[in-house]
Amino acid sequence: MSFVSPAFFLFLLAGRLAYGGWLYLARSAKGHRAISYGLAILSAIFYSFAGLKWLLLLLLVAWISYFGARKARGPAGSFRLWITIALLLLPLLLFKYVFFYIDVHNAGLDSLAAAPSARMQGVDALESSGFFLRLWNGPMLLLPLGISFYTFQNISYVVQVARGTIEPRRSFVDYLAYLTFFPQLVAGPIVTGSAFFPQLDARPIPTMDDLWHGAFLMLRGYLWKVLLADSMADLVDPVFSGGGRQGSAVAMAVLAFSFQIYFDFQGYTLIALGVGRLFGIRLPENFFSPYLARGSRDFWRRWHVTLSAWLREHIYIPLGGSRRGLARTFLALFATMLLGGLWHGAHVNFLIWGGLHGLWLALEHALGGRKNQRTIGREPGSTFAGEGRASRILSWLGRQGIRCITFAFVTLLWIPFRAGSEQNGWQVCVEVWQSLMGYLWHPVAWNGSFSVYLLFGAALSAVCLEYLLRSRPASWLPSRATGPQGGSGLMDLGQSLARAILVAAGVLTLLLLGSGRQEFVYFVF
């Protein structure tokens, strides 16, 4: 079920009302079990829209993780841990990588057999000897919705239990509520058990403030998705599909995709966080103004934070991290980013994207990026002893220059991520270079170029707004009146309801505007 559809809004409204009624009926129940049942059942209904067979697969891997974690301690705990991780990875490898390889293999055989010169090169003899075999003649299986995310979340839980970070859950329903919580099930954020279960144990009953904050987060998410990300997609898709490549249009399409993927994924994350608040659950944030980063390491501390943390905890540190010499650190960085790219999809383009980010991280580490950030990239307000206003201005300009260079590198590295093939990605890179060098610099080919520049201005303004909202998180939300002049509880309730209704009306309007538009980018992962 698409988050950008009226159907999802109706499901959320009906589900929230049913959940509230369920909590009211079970208010005398001891512990948090009623909450776990409510969240698990509602999430199962949500995921069943993707297909009952995928729901059964989700329940199967949940049982493997739940049971395996309970056996991951003790004398044979390490062996059982690796067996559990292998079983959890098996569906992901099968659906996302094995069938992709089979499809590519069979397509290669078909193209080879159709080549006019193939039979002149002895392919007949090889075929008759059985050298070329089709690996699978049946239909290719679709990728289960959210399998990459819930696989990593399963592994995170098992590893945390094995390390003693958290205790294994006694109730399978508690674990289902954690794994299948529907706002984050499809595309994250990846939630750790240590962050979720304490909230569940505290019996999270959503308050009116939760409802208001959640609705406001959802409204921001839909604004970023419908008004910014989808508008950017209208500029990006024609260029990356092979058409509309005229002069500066290519460079601007690459820039537009950098904004598109950020506002698309951040929009989804805000919606997920908002829906979580409607049910009293606070999910972790995934973005911390990544396009204001100063360097590669700073970028990955801000971009897709939960995935970056997962890769660091489960791949980079076990490979040695930065504790075993420079060469081992470079290897760990490069391998981690390669696997991070491969996680996004079984395609050479994702490996190129991950590998280039790994090389950038290694180069920054070799050049002492941390030391540079402490000097050139100091935070506002920090000064050297005796420096004057001119030095502070130069320091500020230096920080902004580093941010611009980082953003430029990140934007260029999005090209292989977005391109459908290596050839297409290389062609886009060449055309961007030629465009920037002035060889093909022509007026923008899109109709109404003023609206395009206006869209980029809106995107930059939204990036700045995200930073301001983060730096002053409490100042942008109305709070209840306090003190002698404060209103009564009934008035507070009425104001909260009025605000929630206004926000809900805004969300519904955006859903109707975005109905039938592009799905979230990370839903395919």
> What residues act catalytically?
344
Residue 122: how many CB atoms within 10 A of its CB? 9
Residues 6+ apart with CB under 8 A from 134: 105, 106, 109
Chain centroid offset of residue 218 CA: 16
Per-residue tokens: 84: 């559990």
Tell me which amino acid residue 103 is. Answer: D
As a whole number of Å, the CA-based R_g of the chain is 26
Farthest-apart Cα atoms in the chain, separation: 94
Report how far apart, in Å, the C-alpha atoms of 412 and of each of 26, 415, 418, 441 are: 54, 6, 11, 18
Smallest CA-to-CA distance from 3 within 501, 500, 511 is with 511
- Say what the alpha-carbon torsion angle 209, 212, 214, 218 is, to the nearest 10 degrees: -170
Give the C-alpha distances (Å, rounded to integers) separating 141 from 53, 93, 244, 342. Answer: 12, 12, 33, 19
Q: For residue 177, count other CB atoms closer than 10 A to its CB.
A: 26
Count of C-beta atoms within a 10 Å radius of residue 348: 13
Closest CA to 143 of 255, 211, 228, 50: 50
Q: How far is CA 485 from CA 221, 258, 287, 317, 479, in A?
A: 34, 48, 38, 55, 14
Name residue 169's amino acid: R
Euclidean distance between CA atoms 336 and 353, whole angstroms: 12
**Dihedral sign, CA of 27, 211, 39, 71?**
negative
